[in-house]
Amino acid sequence: KQYLESIPHATVWEGQILPGGVTTPDKMKAMQDMVFDENDVIIVSYPKSGTTWVSEVLSAIAYEGNTEKLKQVRMDERVPWIEMDHRCWDPNSPVQASAKGPVRDGKKQIWFSHLHLDYLPPTARAGKCKVVYVARNPKDNAVSYFHFHRLTTFMGLQKDMKWNDYFPLFCSGYICVGNWFKHTLDYWKFTRNNPNAKFVVYEDLKKDLMGEMQSLEEFVGIPLTPEQRLEVVKHCSFDSMKDNKMTNREGLAVFDHGETKFMRKGIVGDWKNYFTVAQNEAFDELYKSKFEGTGLSFEFE
């Protein structure tokens, strides 16, 4: 209850907490009518799993490696957030009338969303467009999301939030966007043996960005040259994205970069600085109970 009250204008809809500044029940319904086709790629993720990173990589592919051109358009313009950006779903918007995104000067229109699979617009679920799901090990995901609550107005800019108060919310799923386990496992099943869907993992991007990028190129059907690939890998490094005003989300009114940054640490294993021994044991039990037999596992360091 306390959490719900701390999120500005939140509504509970079909058991989900919807932050008012981002989405509303009306928007959730309107989004169901969005029409996607083969020119669209939707990146879907639980918040803080590397959405922005994959958005930049896929944008660079859509722009055929032209990073100079990419640097001229802000991320939120070229990769609109479906449930936030009224231009995506508003039936009166000229953009929606053309059934395309706000910016489409690359070869594909890239979108992103945090919607659970159950609420992804039916044309996307039916394979009319490509879907890329980005997942991250849940311990680091939880820590990053904790900091995000302290960063953004749509989470109530919770500068005083304590890790120990937040941890049970993440575990129970009583939190904006809901249950991490359900989100991830539903999309894991959806992407299995689905030629229009791909499951991408943050820890794999950290290990081999070049290889993961090549696989994304194949998936969307836009091959880059080895030179372009080298340029894009450099352009998409954490340090480069952190300093790039078009990707680091600085200057956006909904973020207060005083306490923490959107581009915060960009590492694997930061959870060790937050989880107590007891929390870690409890989380491992929960993870085991949810993941046993699914064929999915994460690396935590």
Contacts of 84 (CB under 8 A, 6+ apart): 22, 23
Residue of 114, 149, 183, 235 with catalytic role? 114
The SS3 of residue 28 is helix
Q: What would you measure as the largest C-alpha separation in the chain, in angstroms?
A: 53
Q: Min. distance of Cβ 248 from ligand A3P in angstroms?
A: 9
Q: Provide the token pair at 257.
A: 């970069």
The SS3 of residue 201 is strand
Instruction: Indicate whether 244 belongs to the interface with ligand A3P (CB under 6 A).
Output: no
Instruction: Indicate whether 51 belongs to the interface with ligand A3P (CB under 6 A).
Output: yes
Q: Find the binding residues for ligand A3P in span 129-148 (CB under 6 A).
A: 140, 144, 147
Q: Find the binding residues for ligand A3P in span 260-279 (CB under 6 A).
A: 263-266, 270
Closest CB to ligand A3P among residues 219, 255: 255
Instruction: Indicate whether 113 belongs to the interface with ligand A3P (CB under 6 A).
Output: no
How far is Cα 296 from Cα 287, in angstroms, rounded to an integer?
11
Our measurement of the distance from residue 98's CA atom to the centroid of its chain's CA atoms, rounded to an integer in Å, reads 25
Give whole-number Cα distances, 84 to 54, 69, 202, 231, 247, in Å. 18, 25, 23, 31, 17
**Contact pick of 236, 244, 271, 279 for ligand A3P (by CB under 6 A):** 236
Which residue in the block uniquely carries the two structure tokens 């032209």?
66
**Contact pick of 7, 16, 42, 49 for ligand A3P (by CB under 6 A):** 49
Is 9 part of the annotated catalytic residue set? no
Q: Min. distance of Cβ 54 from ligand A3P in angstroms?
A: 8
**Contact pick of 47, 102, 127, 173 for ligand A3P (by CB under 6 A):** 47
**Sign of torsion, CA 62 223 52 72?**
negative
**φ/ψ (deg, to 5) at 131:** -125, 125
Amino acid symbol at 125: R
Stretch that binds ligand A3P, among 31-39, 43-51, 164-172, 217-225 (CB under 6 A): 43-51
| Residues with catalytic function | 114
Interacting residues toward ligand A3P by CB under 6 A: 45, 47-53, 140, 144, 147, 236-238, 241, 263-266, 270
